[in-house]
Amino acid sequence: METTHSLNTRTPAESEVFMTELVLPQHTNALGTIFGGTVMSWIDIAGAISAGKYARCSVVTASIDALHFIAPIKLGHAVELKACVNITGKSSMEVGVRVTSENLITGERFHNVSAYLTFVALGSDGKPRAVPVLEPKTESEKRRYKAAIKRRASRVALAKDIKAES
């Protein structure tokens, strides 16, 4: 694994990304709600920016946990995506992305999607490289870190099962 800097620690706040998109006609289906793939693309972009900001190098998406669409996102709504690193491994980072939409006319807000993505940091040789150790500071960061430990254990177990079956 390539390391271009000494491993230090960073806080989740140092990886925060806020993205805003407007739902336009080309983003919607015949029902006037956004295509799921469009939201997934925005989630992947926000997550990649967060992971890259944290690792300070190129990153690739390794996996996306299950996505559950909680509420529809409609034409004309503003969509806010908040992304933040929740936990790190040697070269991997779990990024949580929360998607919220707002009806700009009424001000009504909706929690639409929460997603967890795993990104791998890459060195200039295209191989995995080490990332800084995550140091949660706030109560919210510590809570997200503890939940991420459970999700990570689940992902590792699933990967072992899949590998054993192949």
pLDDT tens-digit readout, 38-80: 999 999 999 999 999 999 999 999 999 978 899 999 999 999 9
**Distance between CA atoms of 161 and 78, rounded to whole angstroms?**
40
Residue 7: which pLDDT band, with cuts at 50, 70 and 90? low
> Residue 4 is encoded by which pair of tokens?
């271009």
CA atoms within 13 A on the CB side of 140: 6
Q: Check if the beta carbon of residue 81 is closer than 8 Å to that of residue 18.
A: yes
Q: How far is CA 96 from the centre of its chain?
A: 4
Task: Write out the two tokens for 115.
Answer: 């997603």
How many Cβ atoms are within 10 Å of 25's Cβ, its own excluded? 8
Enumerate domains of the chain plus CATH numbers: 9-165 (3.10.129.10)
pTM beyond cutoff 0.85: yes
- Ranges of beta strands (E only) in the chain are 9-10, 17-22, 58-64, 78-88, 92-102, 109-122, 133-134
- 45-59, 78-92, 120-134, 147-161 — which is least confidently predicted? 147-161
Cα–Cα distances in angstroms (integers) from residue 28 to residues 58, 76, 77, 85, 133, in the given order: 31, 10, 11, 29, 40
Structure letter (DSSP) for residue 64: E
